[in-house]
Amino acid sequence: MQQATSSGVRDANSPGASRWSSENVLRPAPGGIKGWLMAFALSTGFPLLFRLLRWLPWNLRLGVVFATRYDEVCEIFRNDAAFRVAYGKKLHVITGGEPFFLSMDDTPQYRHDTEALRKAVRVSDIPARLIPEVERLGEQLVNDAIADGKGQIEVVELVRRITFELYQSYLGIPDPPGAALPASVMRLFEFQFADDFDDPELRKEVDVVGPALRSHIDTLIAARKTAGVVQDDVLGRCVAMQAADPASFSDAQIRTSLLGLIYGGPPQPPMVVPQALEQLLRRPDALKGAQEAARSADDKLLAGFVFEAMRFDPVAPFLRRVAKQDADIAAGTPRAVTVAQDKTVLVAASSAMMDERRVPNPTQFDPNRAADQYIHFGLDHHQCFGIHMNNALLPLMLKALLKRQNLRRAPGARGKLSKRGPFADQLWVAYE
């Protein structure tokens, strides 16, 4: 069991598996009937239910409203005036009551905060800084496994290490003293996005981790100011912006922005990128095509293979939206439905990407699909803040591995992707 400490979740020097492994980062999977039901729902139950709901000529109410067709999903994502995100309550626990744009409507504060942060998190950093670093880390780690005589690597750990080394350096957030940041932020991510039943044990950990990380970031901000030297990372840029215009960023805004970025972003690639490789391994022709793209440095085609693989197992089956007032979906069609004020809609982007009305031959693997057939990162107002980074970097996290010869599953059960609840747990592959 992972133990909460005064500064995080698990001592960074704990014995056993590496600090990047799922054993040290994820909580134990639910056991018994609960664990079985969760695994069945994610792998089989939701896809079957969504297929049925897409087929029905009307919208079926099952206590909540499901949006499963492509047009309905896009309609809700694009109608922020009627449907709000459901993140506010738990986000305030994490941030200590400070607002963060993840839960905001399209307000002046939302526009101020996102515009200010985009001056520190720059699209121009992607080709200049982030892409070379992802490729360097991937090559180093994949080659190290060969040099060590193993010829095998665990993909979830590989992607997690690439992701956190990249973003901790880029954001300017090292590990807290005595704690490993990947495990700490994973608790916050799970609490925010995957704690449907309000697990009291998880809340206990969050009540330790949240204040500890806020204090850690406050210490980092103060240290940067004391040093008086501008470092070219996101924290350094925020501090420089504040010095030039004190009204632009308070310390609390800098802390909350960095906290939101570190717990909202890096936990996701270790979930979805190994799932994409699992889908490629199930399809030898697709795996061959992805490897040819990687070896020829055709990054656009490689992205086509990876994002198409993600379509078959995306990061989440659905997202929640809550009606601000009585609001209609699919008005003027037989599937028209009114969602009452304060009622929840489960918006199934995973289902939308399988809707044959807008996604031709959805069960066919096609790496050359049009970009609008994917809704991996949402749409419009609450589209993922890091969408440009995701589009560029997620495929490259597999590039070094895909370039290797004789890439295959490791023998036995560990050569197939396992999960802990909704999170990718481990997937071992062998290569030469």
Residue 360 lies in a domain: yes
Length of the chain in residues, anyone? Answer: 432
- Give the structural domain span for 273: 22-430
Residue 7 lies in a domain: no
What are the pLDDT tens digits along the chain (432 aa)?
334 433 333 333 334 468 899 999 999 988 889 889 989 999 999 999 999 999 999 998 777 899 999 999 999 999 999 999 999 999 999 999 999 999 998 889 999 899 999 999 999 999 999 999 999 999 999 999 887 777 899 999 999 999 999 999 999 999 998 889 999 999 999 999 999 889 999 999 999 999 999 999 999 999 999 998 889 999 999 999 999 998 888 999 999 999 999 999 999 999 999 999 999 999 999 999 999 999 999 999 999 999 999 999 999 999 999 999 999 999 999 999 999 999 999 999 999 999 999 999 999 999 999 999 999 999 988 899 999 999 999 999 999 999 999 999 999 999 999 999 999 999 999 999
Residue 173 lies in a domain: yes
- Contacts of 376-381 with CB under 8 Å at 24 or more apart are 376/272, 376/307, 376/310, 376/311, 376/314, 376/315, 376/349, 378/77, 378/319, 378/349, 379/74, 379/77, 379/78, 380/77, 380/78, 380/80, 381/80, 381/106
Structure tokens at 326: 């009585």
pLDDT given at position 411: 96
Residue 45 lies in a domain: yes
Residue 6 lies in a domain: no
Starting at the earlier edge strand, list the strands of the sheet with 428-430. 152-154, 428-430, 408-409
Compute the distance between CA of residue 285 and CA of residue 307 in angstroms, rounded to an integer.
16
Whether residue 357 contacts residue 122, with contact meaning beta carbons closer than 8 Å, is answered with: no
Q: How many domains does the chain have?
A: 1
Output the domain CATH number for residue 49: 1.10.630.10
Condensed to tens digits (0 to 9), the pLDDT of residues 211-254 reads 999 999 999 999 999 998 889 999 999 999 999 998 888 999 99
Residue 11 lies in a domain: no
Whether residue 324 contacts residue 81, with contact meaning beta carbons closer than 8 Å, is answered with: yes
| Model pTM score | 0.94
Q: How far apart are the first and last CA of the chain?
A: 35
Residue 4 lies in a domain: no
Residue 399 lies in a domain: yes
